[in-house]
Amino acid sequence: MPETLLEEVVGSVLGVSSQSLSDDSSSENVQEWDSLRQLSILLALESAYGITITADQALDMNSIAAIRALLWEHGVELPT
């Protein structure tokens, strides 16, 4: 999958290569993805995409695929 702003933002927050991230990347299999960085991802996504993420939505942001779906709900179209 081509690298997108989503992978760039998440990779930057996690301190990992954005090219190493895929829809399967999650808090379960990326060691750097802890609860503090989860909050940082949320804030970075809000800034990058000009959206507001609710607390309920934030609870579901546990993978790149879930974040992609959340962005779609906000009207952000990303390559699949």
Give the model confidence (pLDDT) of 13-28 as tens digits. 999 999 999 999 999 9
Whether 78 is covered by a domain: the verdict is: no
The rounded distance, in Å, linking the Cα atoms of 25 and 27 is 7
Whether 80 is covered by a domain: the verdict is: no
Could you tell me the pLDDT band of residue 49, with boundaries at 50, 70 and 90?
Answer: very high
Q: Which amino acid is at 44?
A: A
Total count of domains within the chain: 1
60-74 confidence digits (pLDDT tens): 999 999 999 999 999
Instruction: Report whether 49 contacts 65 (CB < 8 A).
Output: no
Q: Which tokens hold the place of 23?
A: 């829809």
Instruction: Report whether 79 contacts 2 (CB < 8 A).
Output: yes
Q: What is the mean pLDDT of residues 37-56?
A: 96
Segments forming the whole domain that contains residue 26: 5-73
Whether 60 is covered by a domain: the verdict is: yes
Whether 79 is covered by a domain: the verdict is: no
Q: How many CA atoms within 13 Å lie on the side-chain side of 32?
A: 14
Q: For residue 46, which of 78, 26, 74 has the smallest C-alpha distance?
A: 74
pTM: 0.90
Q: Look up the CATH number of the domain holding residue 59.
A: 1.10.1200.10
